[in-house]
Amino acid sequence: MLPKRILIIEDEKQIARFLELELKHEGYAVDIAYDGWGGLRKIEKYVPDLILLDIMLPEIDGLEVCRKIRQFSEVPIIMLTARDEVTDMVMGLDIGADDYITKPFVIEVLFARIRAALRKRIPLAHNSKVLISGDLRMDLLKHQVFRGKEAIELTKKEYDLLEYLLMNKGIVLTRDQILGKVWGYDYVGDTNIVDVYIRYLRSKLDEAYENKLILTVRGVGYIIREERNEN
């Protein structure tokens, strides 16, 4: 399964590092920005599954960051606040943050808040355990991929890439979106790797079949064909 990707926007490096380690241990993929602009730049490239947003940030504070994110995205946002920032926290909720937690916090409580925030926003399609396009079936519980009756062996990255494509079936994904979700921000800009892995996937999924499922949208990215199952 693709790990849920969490972006931490926090200027205190120790806290950011602590959160990164704990969240990774819980199975999340984690990215960090140390200031508001840095965070916004990352989100412009690719919107993560959830954002932990510190209120007191240099230059542009967490409230302003939250306001800007809400202009284009409904991504779950949990604000991190100090105890004496209660008014800020209330304002955060008013401008569209989903939740807040005061520092210092118990990590298990934060985990629970994260799970709750993620549950609220999961679209219906993501609850499905089997992803389908035409005769391609991806069983997320059994971790199996079939085209027709043919089982297809994929590496971890190929599997993650296919899962992301199938979850967004019928939607064109840019190379940067794919990089952000499957590889993380560190790779954004280095889009060759996407092309390489698309080639791997095609050789396993499409090459032997007349009906190609992975399509290139020139100058934009890739799309998996939205196809009704003919059965």
Footprint on this chain of Ca ion (rule: CB under 5 A): 11, 54, 56
The gap from C-alpha 107 to its chain's centroid, in whole angstroms, comes to: 21
> Residue 57 Cβ, how far from Ca ion at the closest point, in Å?
6
Return the number of the residue (34 or 209) whose C-beta is nearest Ca ion: 34
Report in angstroms the alpha-carbon separations of 39 from 35, 52, 63, 111, 199.
Answer: 6, 10, 13, 21, 31
> Residue 12 Cβ, how far from Ca ion at the closest point, in Å?
5
Long-range interactions of 101-108: CB distance < 8 A, separation 24+: 103/15, 105/80, 107/22
Return the number of the residue (31 or 54) whose C-beta is nearest Ca ion: 54
Preceding amide of 3 cis, omega within 30: no
> Residue 66 Cβ, how far from Ca ion at the closest point, in Å?
14
> Residue 188 Cβ, how far from Ca ion at the closest point, in Å?
25
Report in angstroms the alpha-carbon separations of 120 from 57, 98, 125.
Answer: 27, 10, 14
CA 4/CA 6 separation, integer angstroms? 6
Return the number of the residue (57 or 194) whose C-beta is nearest Ca ion: 57
Return the number of the residue (59 or 150) whose C-beta is nearest Ca ion: 59
Return the number of the residue (22 or 88) whose C-beta is nearest Ca ion: 88
177: helix, coil or strand?
helix
> Residue 62 Cβ, how far from Ca ion at the closest point, in Å?
8
Return the number of the residue (9 or 131) whose C-beta is nearest Ca ion: 9
> Residue 36 Cβ, how far from Ca ion at the closest point, in Å?
10
179's CB contacts (< 8 A; 6+ apart) are 46, 187, 188, 189, 190, 191, 193, 194
145: helix, coil or strand?
strand
**Using CB atoms, what's the residue nearest to Ca ion?**
56
H or E element that contains 89: helix 86-94
CA 201/CA 142 separation, integer angstroms? 19
